[in-house]
Amino acid sequence: MLIDSFVLGGAQRQFVNLAMTLKKMGDDVSICTYYPLQGTLSEEDTKQIDVTCFEKSFKYDLTPIFKLKNKIATEKPDVVVAFLATPSIYAELSRLAGHSTPVVVSERNGPGEHTRLLKEWVLVRLHTLAKYVVFNNHGHRNDLSAKYKSLQGKTRVIYNGVDERYFSNAKSWNTIIRKNTKATTKETPFKFCVVSARPIKRKGMFELIEAMSHLKHTCEIPYSVDWIGNCNESDINVIQAKIELTRHGLESIWFWRGVNNELFNTYNTYDALLVPSRREGVSNALCEAMASGLPCIASDIVDHREVVLKSGSGILFEPQNAIELASCMKQYLEAEVSDLAHYGSQAAKFAAENFQIDRYAGQWRSLLQSAISD
């Protein structure tokens, strides 16, 4: 199995979930990276599984292709699995370098993620070297399949897996004591959270700030927003966001919480998850928050209509529409506890039926067996 590194991120978490669950199922799993960054693979996990780092020297270094080819020649695996674009490119090109082991790659994006058409065209052409291309949402799968006939017949959708030992319906709405039936009072401000590995524009940071500015003039109900994830003070987007927060007088209700390695102890301290992204695949944070019984407000992208709206787990807004996002936030701020409890219970129910980790790993295992036997 190949990925860039174990730096914190949704794809990395799903990669580790798959590797460790396959290992528990009795499969022999070997992991390769090309950056020596650690994060989502614990020291305990590294003792249970073989991990090799190919030590990539610079951005366009192609030596990992040949190092992977040599490792395949030595270990003779039944199948090679790669997550993310560049690892997939390396795994696919390793076949041209001289091995016939089937390769299965995983796209972790949403429609429009590859903003440069040439890059998208190259990636899809290289996917002809893979046995299967796995997506974590139907939106991106359908978009690429419609544009490129070469993908037809080799694409699959497997939703993210959530380890229910850590993420479960911990948000017990029925036991929350309020002074009235509303979810928010002056003594208990409503708490939203955003969980994002990187503070980049396509995650909807600036639309959220604009929505909060609108709420300031249309709603007096107290609330706060926590941004959980990398928020390096030198990052240009963080700098710009702080300027905007100050300009709108919002710095007292926006909190930069930084990277959190124990989200399983965190979701149940919030009242709702915000997913304001312009584009992405099905968010790992969304799956984990839903499994934790948290109501959601999400942009209407990829599979959110099915996962959030139709499941009754929350409400949607038009992506990049700050006014609609503000309206959704206000709806939650004015909601009764029973309404939020319903969203939360439906979220947990959908997650239990669709994001269960053994189901996720089982679907992957079945697909890998097909790749080997075909």
- pLDDT for 14-66, tens place per residue? 998 999 999 999 999 999 999 986 666 666 776 788 899 999 989 889 999 99
**Burial degree of 209 (CB within 10 A; 0-12, 13-18, 19+):** buried
**Contact yes or no for 207/276 (Cβ under 8 A):** yes
Q: Residue 26 CB: number of other CB atoms within 10 A?
A: 6
Please state the separation of Cα 371 from the chain's center in Å: 25
Position 264 pLDDT exceeds 90: no
Mean pLDDT value of segment 171-198:
67
What type of residue sits at position 349?
K
Model confidence band, residue 179 (pLDDT cutoffs 50, 70, 90)? very low
Q: What is the pLDDT of residues 185-211, one digit of tens each?
A: 546 789 999 998 788 898 999 999 999
Quick one: pLDDT at residue 180?
44
| pTM score, whole prediction | 0.88
Q: Is the dihedral of CA 12, 60, 57, 31 positive or negative?
A: positive
Pick the CATH number of 173-354 from 3.90.180.10, 3.40.50.620, 3.40.50.2000, 3.40.50.2300: 3.40.50.2000
298's enclosing H/E stretch is strand 296-299
Model confidence band, residue 121 (pLDDT cutoffs 50, 70, 90)? confident
Distances from the Cα of 370 to the Cαs of 91, 97, 107, 306, 366, in angstroms? Answer: 18, 24, 19, 28, 6
Residues of the chain with CATH 3.40.50.2000: 10-161+356-373, 173-354
72's enclosing H/E stretch is helix 63-75
Domain 10-161+356-373 in CATH 3.40.50.2000: yes
